[in-house]
Amino acid sequence: MKRMRNGLVGGGAAAVLTLAASCSNTPVTPTPTPTIDPPVTNCNVTPPTTAITPALLASGLPCDATIVPPVTLPNFQHGFDYYSWLTFLALNAPASGGVIGKDAPAVWERWKELSEVMKPDGSRPAPWDAPRTIPTACRGVGVPKGTRVLSMVGKTPDVLSATVQPFDTGPLIDQHGRYVRYEILMNRPMFEYIVQNDLYSKQGQSAFTATVDFPEGDVVEGTTNGTIGAIMVKASWMVLDKSDDAGAFHTTQALVYTPPQDNPRIEESCTGATLGLVGLHVAHKTAGAPQWIWSTFEHVANVPQRADVDAGKLAPHYNFHRANCSGCAVNEPPPRPWNPNVQPFPNGFTSQIVREVPITADTDALTKAFTGLLAGTVWRNYLLVSTQWPTEPQSPTDPNGVPAPAFLANTTLETYVQGTVPQASSSCMNCHGNAAATTGRTSDFTFILERAH
Amino acid sequence: MASDPMTPFVNLSALLTGITAAKLVPPLSPSTVPQQIFDTAKTNGGATFDQLLTIYADAVAQRMTDAQIANQVFVANGPDVRYLARSIMLAWYLGSWYDPKVLQAYDSPKPPPGPPSSVVISSDAYTQGWVWNVAQAHAMGYSNFTFGYWAKNPPALSDFTGATS
């Protein structure tokens, strides 16, 4: 059921008045405030018992996970993994319309990028439909208008405070010695919630006295009516060159921007490049999962699993692993200094990464079934690692909802914190449950608010 | 013995610990700690473990009260059963295995000096030990609570244990 939060009403009834210029007789023009999470009528409520056929390609975005009995851990995990694939199909459909298939800018790639929301001067973000802003250093780079900007070189950039971000992850270096690039984007309900509550600045966050509570995706029982809720995406991209098989990746033309940094000194730089998608996190807050549902996908050629390495069953090529590399330190960050302007990485370093926690047989089978629908497209080359979901979303004693699986890592996004060690290995909910705004108050499972200035 | 000994083991454990079975093993729990405790008790308990579960199953079949079952476990069937039950209680609460024979040695007018030896079953068993929950606290260096929890009162004891009294 649609819920309204923090006194912000929806349905288009609300309006704010745009003040006319002083000393002017210009009439006051009402500017409608967008509804934060408007009702939709096309929630994808396909149950996970549905046969995986091409009909699913056009089934749309789930507003929440549809789960059916029996109430067992394996069955629920299957249901959430099925939800993840439905979400993957919907979000990777072309932004211009149609169903998933061609290698075109996807739905999520038209969402708002983090740096456009949390601006260095703390100013109000441009409206949802405004064109992307380009860093000054990128303005002379000859790329098509509207080309995106990728600036992050690590999932946890320096601006994240050590008090709430327990993992100091390093950069990931591909087989060409280049840094993997990252971006964080959010859908419109999440963006509007931040903007309309002035959470894009420290000042606004200080004035916000309510508990941060992003809108939930929800479905009116027995219907396809509901709301989408907040969704955030984290993507990792590998710079491609002529020796890479670009046809095996979802690609994008992007401005690869390195912001200036002190200690160590890093010069601002920008260049145009073709990049291939190698990792994709999707986090979705829903009524059934107020701790959010965390789905994570990877390119199939990223890394081998530990068992494959131990058994010597290695493929000829991986994006982040070199076969027969004796003496290569496994799953260790590159030596410092980390300067993206110095590429390839000095001394021939490339990351030697192995997946520590194996993908389960059921999740693997689902990936095979869904990618079977995507034969002949670049999307056949992506796999679901797993989906983390709350087994007790209303638990009074565990605000993280007792997540299952207990640990989940994407080898391109949590490269160096894989494993099963409590409070040290990657767990989406247990990590993001510690997220706080600049005020020190909890920020509803996202570190985004901590980036405000 | 029942075909699924885990279920009577958990029900017996609920009686021994005062924690409801639904809290010890929630229906969708991803935790492997209950299975670890079961395996540890079975391995170390041997034939006495089977005897303990049989005693419990017979008591349930006879519709005994909790107090009557406790009498069967702690009084009527001898020290081997009694101390294995105590070891199981300690395993749930502390995440460590105390050998029943070691515990028995401390129940004498002249107990051995120092604390009884024990083995931590696993890091998860330690952090998920029920002693922390009953204290409405958490293990040192491990907490599920969110940022700033230390400024708030903990949840009620009944929220942790599922017990209403």
What pTM, to 2 d.p., does this model score?
A: 0.90
Average the pLDDT over A424-452 and give the result.
92
Min mean pLDDT across A3-7, A38-42, A101-105, B133-137 is at: A3-7
Q: What is the mean pLDDT of residues A164-187?
A: 80
Whether residue A89 lies inside any domain: the answer is: yes
Q: Would you call A260 exposed, middle or buried from its count of C-beta atoms within 10 A (0-12, 13-18, 19+)? A: exposed
Q: In this structure, what DSSP letter does residue A260 have?
A: -
Q: Tell me whether the omega of the peptide bond preceding residue A105 falls within 30 degrees of 0, making it cis.
A: no
pLDDT for A167: 44
Highest mean pLDDT (candidates A267-276, B75-84, B109-118): B75-84
Contact between A428 and A418 (Cβ < 8 Å): no
Contact residues, A window 342-371, toward B, CB-based 8 Å cutoff = none
Between positions 66 and 95 of A, the ones with CB within 8 A of B are 71-73, 76
Contacts B135 to A, Cβ<8 Å: none
pLDDT at B2: 47
Choice among A382-391, B36-45, B144-153 with the minimum mean pLDDT = B144-153
pLDDT at A266: 83
pLDDT grade for A152, boundaries at 50, 70 and 90: low
Predicted confidence at residue B164, as pLDDT, reads 76
Is A174 domain-assigned? yes
B52-108 pLDDT, tens digit per residue, is 999 999 999 999 999 999 999 999 999 999 999 999 999 999 999 999 999 999 988
Q: pLDDT for A278-321, tens place per residue?
A: 999 999 999 999 999 999 999 999 999 999 999 999 999 999 99
Predicted local confidence at residue A260, as pLDDT: 82
**Whole-angstrom Cα distance, residue A233 to residue A295?**
10
Best of A71, A395, A397, A439 to disrupt the B interface by mutation (most B CBs within 10 Å)? A397
Is the pLDDT at A8 greater than 90? The verdict is no
CA distances (Å), origin A109, targets A245, A280, A376: 22, 11, 22
**pLDDT above 60 (res A387):** yes
Greatest mean pLDDT among A182-186, B42-46, B136-140: B42-46
Angle between helices B78-94 and B47-61 (to 10 degrees): 90
Among A162-166, A352-356, A440-444, the range scoring the smallest mean pLDDT is: A162-166
Does residue A318 belong to any structural domain of this protein? no
Cα gap A372→A230, rounded to integer Å: 29
- Better pLDDT: A268 or B24: B24
- Determine the residue among B138, B143, B145, B147 to mutate to test chain A binding: the one whose Cβ has the most chain A Cβ atoms within 10 Å: B147
pLDDT at A71: 95
Structural domain contains residue A346: no
Give me the total of CB pairs closer than 8 Å, taking one residue from chain A and one from chain B. 62
Check if the beta carbon of residue A370 is closer than 8 Å to that of residue A89: yes
Contacts of A400 in chain B (CB under 8 A): 144, 146
pLDDT at A21 > cutoff 70? no
Q: What is the pLDDT of residue A163?
A: 22
Inter-chain touch B29–A73, beta carbons under 8 Å? yes
What does the pLDDT average to over A336-345?
88
B144 with A441: Cβ contact below 8 A: no
Residue A103 has, within 13 A of its CA and on its CB side, a CA count of: 20
**Which pLDDT score, from 0 to 100, does residue B165 have?**
60
Query: DSSP code of A369?
Result: H
Which tokens sit at A418?
């894989």
Domain extent at residue A387: 37-301+359-451
What does each C-alpha distance from B1 to A39, B13, B42 come to in angstroms?
A: 55, 16, 13
Q: Which of A164, A400, A421 comes nearest B144 by C-beta?
A: A400
Please indicate whether residue A5 or residue B105 has the higher confidence score (pLDDT).
Answer: B105
Total domains in the fold of chain A? 1
Question: Looking at the domain assignment, is residue A219 inside a domain?
Answer: yes
pLDDT at site A140:
78
Tens of pLDDT, residue by residue over A35-59, are 999 999 999 999 999 999 999 999 9
Q: Tell me if residue B38 falls in helix, strand or coil.
A: helix
B28, B144, B147 member nearest A404 (Cβ): B28
- Are the C-beta atoms of A352 and A325 separated by less than 8 Å? yes
β-sheet with A218-219: strand ranges across = A39-40, A226-227, A218-219
Give the CA distances from residue A435 to residues A234, A284, A440, A444, in Å, rounded to whole numbers and listed in that order.
16, 16, 9, 7
Q: What percent of chain B has pLDDT over 70?
A: 98
CA distance B39 to chain A (A): 20
**pLDDT per position as a tens digit, A61-88:** 999 999 999 999 999 999 999 999 999 9
Is A430 an 8 Å CB contact of chain B? yes
Confidence of residue B131 (pLDDT cuts 50, 70, 90): very high
C-alpha R_g of chain A: 22
Closest residue in B to A74 (Cα) is B28
Q: Which residue has the higher pLDDT, A161 or A416?
A: A416
Main-chain phi, psi angles of A330, to 5 degrees: -90, 135
**Token representation of residue A130:** 């405004």
Query: Do residues B1 and B54 make contact, with C-beta atoms less than 8 angstroms apart?
Result: yes
Res A26: pLDDT: 61
Mean pLDDT over each residue of chain A, to the nearest integer: 88
**Residue A8 covered by a domain:** no
Residue type, A380: R
- What is the pLDDT averaged over residues A91-104? 97
- Say whether B100 sits in a helix, a strand or coil: helix
Residue A31 lies in a domain: no
Average pLDDT for residues A430-448, to the nearest whole number? 93
> Between residues 121 and 150 of chain A, which touch chain B (CB distance below 8 Å)?
none
Amino acid at A112: K
Q: Quick one: pLDDT band at residue A443, thresholds 50, 70, 90?
A: very high
